Amino acid sequence: MKKALITILGLFLLGMGVYFGYEYVTEPKIVDGVMSKSVDDKGKPLEVSTSFAPEDTIYFSAKRNRFWIKNAQVVWYKGEIASENRFLVEEEVTINKAKYFSAKLTIPEGLEEGHYGVTIYVKGSEIIETKAEFDVKK
CATH architecture of 29-136: Sandwich (2.60)
Q: How confident is the model at residue 25 (pLDDT cuts 50, 70, 90)?
A: low
Mean pLDDT for 23-43 is: 87
Q: Where are the domains of the chain?
A: 29-136
Q: Where are the beta strands (DSSP E) in 40-99?
A: 45-48, 51-52, 58-64, 71-78, 86-94
Reported as a single tens digit per residue, the pLDDT across 64-100 is 988 889 999 999 999 999 999 999 999 999 999 999 9
Q: Is the pLDDT of residue 131 over 80?
A: yes
Length of the chain: 138
**pTM, entire model:** 0.80
